[in-house]
Amino acid sequence: MHRQRILFAILGIHITGALSDSELDGAWQKWMGLNGKTYPNRVSEFTHRQTWERNYWRVLEHNSRHNSTFRMELNFLADQTFERASIASAKLTEDTLRFQPESDIAVSFNDILLPDSWDWRTKGAVTPVNEQGQFGDSQAYAAGECVESFSFIKTRDLVVGSSAEMHDCCTATGFATKTVFDCVHNIGGLCTDRDYPSSYEQCYNDSCTPVAKVSGGQKLQTGDEEAMKSAVYLTPVLAFVDGSLTSFQLYKEGIYSDPYCSSSTVNHALQVVGYGSLNGMDYWICRNSWGLYWGMNGYITIARNRRNMCGIASFSSYPV
C-alpha cells in the first residue's frame, strides 16, 4: 500500500505534489538525524535541503525503473551538489596528466586461463575501506591500497600503508614518474599509517621505515578491459572513473552504468579488486574511499565490457 502511494507520488509530483510538505519535512528531519547533519544557519539548511529534495525525487524515480541494474539511495552525500567530485576533479586533471599513459605500453599477458570471477577480498589481500575526508585525494588512497595489496600478495603480510605519505610524496607534490607506483619505488616504499599518520604537505619519507614495497608500475592500454582483467588477476589495479554523476554519488547497490558517464574525463580514483558476472552482465568490483556508509559497504560494482564504462579502463595501472 505504502509503496503504491509513493509511486503515485512520483507520477503525480509535477502536477499535484502528492507527497505533502509535512511528509517531506519528516523525511528530511529523519535523514538529517540518521546522517548526523547540522547546518550553521537557516540559509545553509535551506540550500542543502533544496539539493536533498531534488535527490529525493531522483532516487525515487530511479529506483522505480524496472530496467536499471543498480539502485540509488539518499546517502550522506544527498544534500551536496558535486562538491566531492569536483575537489577530486581539480586535483586529478593535474595528476592524470602527470601519469598519462604513453603509447608504448602494450603489456602482453601470456595466455593464462583466467577464472570467470575473482575477488581479492576473499584472499585477505584488501585492507578496510578508507574515508578520504582528510585531504580528499582519492588517488592517494586507491594507489596506496594497491601497494598494500601487492605487498600482501608478495609477502603474505597485510599492512595499512600511509595514504598521507602517498599524498605528500607521490600524488600531491611528487616526482614526475611513469606511474604513481614508480614514485612509491623511488621513495623506498610506503610506511605504515601509524608511522606517517597525517599530511605535512611535503614529502617526509625519511621520517619512517617503509614496509610496503613495489619495484615500479605498469600502465594498461587505454580501454583494454581484457588486459585489465588479466592485471586484476595478478594484483588489484588503480583505475580512474568519472565519479561526478549523481547516480554515482548516490549509488547504493547493483551493477553501475550510466549512459551519461564519461569514459574520457575521469575525476575519481578507485581500487579494482576483482571482477565477475551476474545474469550475463560483467562487472568490476571496485573499492571507493568514501567510507563504509557509501555503496555496498564502501564498494561499487561497475559494468565491465560495456565500452569502458565511466572510463574504468582509461587510466589504469598496477604495481609490479
The site for ligand NAG (CB under 6 A) is made up of: 65, 67, 186-188, 205-206, 210
Beta carbon nearer to ligand NAG, 140 or 187: 187
Chain Cα centroid distance, residue 227: 20
Beta carbon nearer to ligand NAG, 88 or 187: 187
Beta carbon nearer to ligand NAG, 104 or 206: 206
Q: How far is CA 19 from CA 7, 38, 304, in A?
A: 10, 24, 38
Q: Name the 3-class secondary structure at 243.
A: coil
Q: How far is the CB of 46 from ligand NAG (least distance, A)?
A: 31
- In this structure, the number of other CB atoms found within 10 A of the CB of residue 56 comes to 18
Taking the C-alpha atoms of residue 233 and residue 114, their distance in angstroms, rounded to an integer, is 7
Q: Name the 3-class secondary structure at 192.
A: strand
Q: How far is CA 114 from CA 97, 108, 233, 276, in A?
A: 32, 14, 7, 11
Beta carbon nearer to ligand NAG, 62 or 268: 62
Taking the C-alpha atoms of residue 303 and residue 192, their distance in angstroms, rounded to an integer, is 33
Beta carbon nearer to ligand NAG, 101 or 188: 188
- Phi/psi for 119 (5° steps) reads -150, 110
Q: How far is the CB of 208 from ligand NAG (least distance, A)?
A: 7
Q: How far is the CB of 174 from ligand NAG (least distance, A)?
A: 10
Beta carbon nearer to ligand NAG, 20 or 64: 64
Beta carbon nearer to ligand NAG, 114 or 281: 281
Taking the C-alpha atoms of residue 160 and residue 212, their distance in angstroms, rounded to an integer, is 9
C-alpha cell at position 274 = 576483482
Count of residues in the chain: 320
Query: Which string of DSSP letters, residue by residue, matches 271-319?
Result: EEEEEEEETTEEEEEEE-SB-TTSTBTTEEEEESSSSSGGGTTTS-EEE
Q: How far is the CB of 195 from ligand NAG (least distance, A)?
A: 11
Q: How far is the CB of 165 from ligand NAG (least distance, A)?
A: 10
Q: How far is the CB of 257 from ligand NAG (least distance, A)?
A: 9
Q: How far is the CB of 187 from ligand NAG (least distance, A)?
A: 4
CB-based contact 125:153 (threshold 8 Å): yes
Q: How far is the CB of 99 from ligand NAG (least distance, A)?
A: 17
Beta carbon nearer to ligand NAG, 42 or 65: 65
